[in-house]
A and B are shown apart, each in its own frame.
Chain A
Amino acid sequence: MAYGYDISHLLSASVLVFSFLLLFQGRMFGLLNMFVMQAVCLSLTVASQAHFQNAPHLYVTAAIALFFKAGIIPYSLRRIIIRLGIYRDIETIFGVGLTLVVGVALTCLAIMTVMPLAHAQELSAREDLAFALSVILMGMLMMITRKNAISQIVGFMSLENGLVLAATGVRGMPLVVEFSVAFSILIAFFVFGLFVFRIRESFDSVEIHVMEQYRGEKQ
């Protein structure tokens, strides 16, 4: 059993590593590729959890993750990128270096908050939790530091990966499958929304700040 934990543990650590790599990525396609890798890692983690926890329904979650996040969504995003012709570098607010530093700081914070949790919790569960929390925080960080709507979606999905990581890491968490379905719908909404806005030509760009010119109450 301990051996099993080690595997899933390793896998979830790799999800975190990919989070860092996401932060590091400067180009659109590179970002999507990294995200696909993270999603694959995630589905592997979930699958391993399904195996070791004897929870077959988690396989569904793994499948959804694989199919949706590593398949359809990146594919549609890629289509959008090609249609809009935005292969450029991704604009970040601070430089990549600083973003990475903040990422490390966030990981430290995650560890700090999880550390003092009661010893009753199994050690690996605590670590998993720390990983998940870090992934979540870094997903948010990505949403904040990237100016482009597509990278925001990627950031959100990465955040959601953290959630799945956390949910599947806990023994016997009910409704996980339902949650992953719900989140998938949510993300589909995102992508759909992006398409809609693009198709309706309300916005000429997916740069978010352009959209903000349409604020109802002008300053």
Chain B
Amino acid sequence: MNLLEIFLWMIPLLLLIGGVGLLAHKTATWYRGVYGATGLVCLFGLVVGVAGLVAEQPPLELVLPLGLPWSHAHFRLDHLTAFFMVVVNLGGAAASLFAMGYGLHEPHPRRILPLYPCFLAAMNLVLVVDDAYSFLLAWECMSLTSWGLVLVEHRIASNRQAAFLYLSMAGFGTMMLLFLFGVLAGQAGDFSFAAFRLNSAGNVNGFLVLFLVLLGAGSKAGLFPLHVWLPLAHPAAPSHVSALMSGVMTKVAVYAALRIIFDLNAHVQWQWSVPVLIIAGITAFIGVLYAIMQHDIKRLLAYHTVENIGIIFLGIGLAMAFRANHQFVGASVAITAALLHTLNHSLFKSLLFLGSGAVLHATGERDIEKLGGLIHRMPVTAFFFLVGSAAISALPPLNGFVSEWLIFQAMMVSPHLPQPLMKFLIPCVGALLALAAALAAACFVKAFGVTFLGRPRSPQAAQAVETDGFSLSAMAVLATLCILIGIFPVTVVDLLQPVSQLLVGVHLPPHSGELAPFTLLPFGSEGSSYDGFLIMLFMLVASTLTAWSVKRFACGVTKRGDAWDCGQPDPSPMTQYTAGSFSQPIRRVFGSVWFYAREKVDMPLPGETRAASFKVTMLDPAWEGLIAPLGQGIGWLSERFNVLHFLSIRQYLFLVFTTLILFLLMVAQWS
């Protein structure tokens, strides 16, 4: 049995666990058992993934007599697949571990149990299949199972709407992928990826392929303007599933994009990178901007997923531009950055979603305006959430910074691209990325500050208790990985090089520890460099020194007293800065243009007794410009056409008659 065969056994195993989940009794043991088994299988998949990534061997292939009878189901395990196996199964294992505790507190655990392992199975399957039919099959199963998971709390109307929008968009994406495979298959009708690789060398319209990838995989990943479903659907699912959807499923979409753009398409042209870069830049920017405006913690996180997908696609776009111009180092740096960010995002986004799940469980609230002060009640969760927040805000020495740094480094060499358009475009996109990173930091100061710091804004928040050990250990694993990758990025970057070789045809030389063992040197020892480990070390030294000197020289007495607050402390927690007021400056600066944000202040004059009011209205450009008109258009059409359901028999006969006359005219004309 080779790795691929071993890996493939995971799929029926997970499905089997799903079947067991269907029959599970209402006891904690059963729940733990199902989640634990799922987690173990994922862990196993993780091991296989790492083994596949490390192994220096040609891609493994396998054909099973499934699917379409003339082409069968093809499976293939190469380094790209192996890398994404790691991403998927790491997220899966962590979420399962979390769910061993959290899953018990869910109001309807038995609705999740059968679908959860199947969802993971579908995601894993997407990665290994090597023909269009099986790919779409797995792809849609992934949508379908996650749709079921979004609907777990189906009595809430907004969840149902989210689920509807989600599956509709998923359907749209699948159709686009169908087109795409239609293009790649050409007239021959051979749907195996191997045939696509051959075909694409011929006269396949590459731009069309790219366009369809952006629509098909992009809608799943959450690229602007097809992201509208994402911030609605991801938060609606139970938190561990949200973690999977945001942290992992969007990565499967990235996988699809990478596979199609770089692997199934023989020739990448530089022009293709232009739409990718523009869309990615806008996605990153608008995602984070919208996130800042959110008060629902899970929705905020979901919008950040949109942002990070933008960042990943920036890396992809850069890689395309460099590869098309045969600037292979740049391409390799860019693709490494995209891959690393994929991994990083899956880690910290899962971590944050799990943290939000813990908060949700402890307080029953997702609205951060009703939270506050949780750092006292849930110190451990708060710490892990802080790690996640810092990581997603791209702060050194954590992992989020490393990948963004690599992307910036790739951008720094973009002036070497021969096309003037690229020279001008990439710095602008870079500015958007910088803006997005800074805004992300602002957003997480808000998210963490309002949720965990300050004073509790509701009784639920005041009475929260720390979450259970399983949940905490899942978060601990992810937080540790965030820190480790931040400190030792070199190891991961070196691991990613086979994937880079596969995608852009070159890889960065392995880091030899020329300057120091853990220095990241994408352009060789003379080029730009970054060493997270030493920064961490220096910061440790500096803070130790500081601490020592403070201990040595300062007065050690610490007293507790009322807050100062310029001498006018107000005991009511309502006087604290809220999430809405925190985001107000940024909303004023950016929101009025992008979201048509309008503030409506109603301040009673002195002497009037009515309450003052403050209202903010915002519109989502993608929603207002795309989804809403579409929905209205179909509604309008259906109302107009509905008359046809209420005609009289005579009128129906008239329709038949007219059809006949038309055909007769046609025949007369044709003769």
Contact = CB atoms under 8 A, between A and B. Distances in A.
A162 to B, nearest CB: 13
A101 to B, nearest CB: 15
B653 A217 contact: no
B613 interface: no
Nearest to B647: A212
Interface in B608-652: 642, 645-646, 648-650
B645 A208 contact: no
A219 B657 CA distance: 25
Interface residues of B, number: 17
B535 interface: no
A153 B665 CA distance: 27
Contacts of A110: 664
Interface in A118-161: 137, 140-141, 143-144, 146-147, 152
B668 A215 contact: no
Contacts of A215: 646
A116 interface: yes
A86 B642 CA distance: 34
B661 interface: yes
Contacts of B667: 113
Given A212-B648, A217-B645, A219-B642, A141 B657 contact: yes
B657 A144 contact: yes
Nearest to B670: A116
Contacts of A219: 642, 645-646
B549 interface: no
Contacts of B648: 208-209, 212
A109 interface: yes
A112 interface: yes
A140 B653 contact: yes
Contacts of A144: 650, 653-654, 657
A109 B665 CA distance: 7
A141 B654 CA distance: 8
Binding site of A, secondary structure by majority: helix, strand, loop or mixed?
helix
A113 B653 contact: no
A141 B656 CA distance: 11
Contacts of A106: 661
Contacts of A217: 645
B642 to A, nearest CB: 7
B650 A143 contact: yes
Contact of A113 (B645, B654, B657, B668): B668
B657 to A, nearest CB: 5
Contacts of A209: 648
A212 B649 contact: yes
A54 B657 CA distance: 36
Contact of A116 (B642, B656, B671): B671
B651 to A, nearest CB: 8
A177 to B, nearest CB: 27
Nearest to A147: B650
Given A144-B657, A219-B642, A112 B668 contact: yes
B657 A140 contact: yes
Contacts of A141: 657
A146 B649 CA distance: 11
Contact of A109 (B642, B654, B656, B664): B664
A147 B649 CA distance: 10
Interface in A178-219: 208-209, 212, 215, 217, 219
A140 B671 CA distance: 24
Nearest to B654: A144
Contacts of A143: 650, 653
Given A140-B653, A144-B654, A109 B646 contact: no
Nearest to B656: A140
Nearest to A111: B668
Nearest to B648: A212
B650 A109 contact: no
A136 to B, nearest CB: 9
B55 to A, nearest CB: 63
Contacts of B653: 140, 143-144
Nearest to B649: A208
B331 to A, nearest CB: 60
Nearest to B652: A144
Contacts of A113: 664, 667-668, 671
Contacts of B646: 215, 219
B130 to A, nearest CB: 48
B86 to A, nearest CB: 54
Interface in A60-82: none
Nearest to A106: B661
Contacts of A109: 661, 664-665, 668
A212 B652 CA distance: 12
Best-surrounded residue of A93, A112, A152 (most CB of chain B within 10 A): A112
B654 to A, nearest CB: 5
A53 B658 CA distance: 36
Contacts of A146: 650
A21 to B, nearest CB: 20
Contacts of B650: 93, 143-144, 146-147, 152, 208
A9 B304 CA distance: 83
Contacts of B665: 109
Nearest to B646: A219
Contacts of A112: 668
Contacts of A212: 648-649
B664 to A, nearest CB: 5
A109 B671 CA distance: 13
A198 to B, nearest CB: 17
Nearest to B658: A144
A200 B651 CA distance: 26
A217 B660 CA distance: 28
Contacts of B656: 140
Contacts of B660: 137, 140
A152 B657 CA distance: 14
A32 B671 CA distance: 38
A17 B667 CA distance: 25
A98 B658 CA distance: 17
A140 B664 CA distance: 14
Nearest to A136: B660
Contacts of B668: 109, 112-113, 116
A112 B665 CA distance: 9
A217 B661 CA distance: 30
Contacts of B657: 137, 140-141, 144
Contacts of B645: 217, 219
A209 to B, nearest CB: 6
28 contacts: A106-B661, A109-B661, A109-B665, A109-B668, A112-B668, A113-B664, A113-B667, A113-B668, A113-B671, A115-B671, A137-B657, A137-B660, A137-B661, A140-B656, A143-B650, A143-B653, A144-B650, A144-B654, A146-B650, A147-B650, A208-B648, A208-B649, A209-B648, A212-B649, A215-B646, A217-B645, A219-B642, A219-B646
Given A116-B671, A140-B656, 19 more contacts: A106-B661, A109-B664, A109-B665, A113-B667, A113-B668, A115-B671, A116-B668, A137-B661, A140-B653, A140-B657, A140-B660, A141-B657, A147-B650, A208-B648, A208-B650, A212-B648, A212-B649, A219-B642, A219-B646
Minimum-distance CB pairs A-B, first 9:
A116-B671, A112-B668, A113-B668, A219-B646, A144-B654, A140-B657, A212-B648, A144-B653, A113-B664
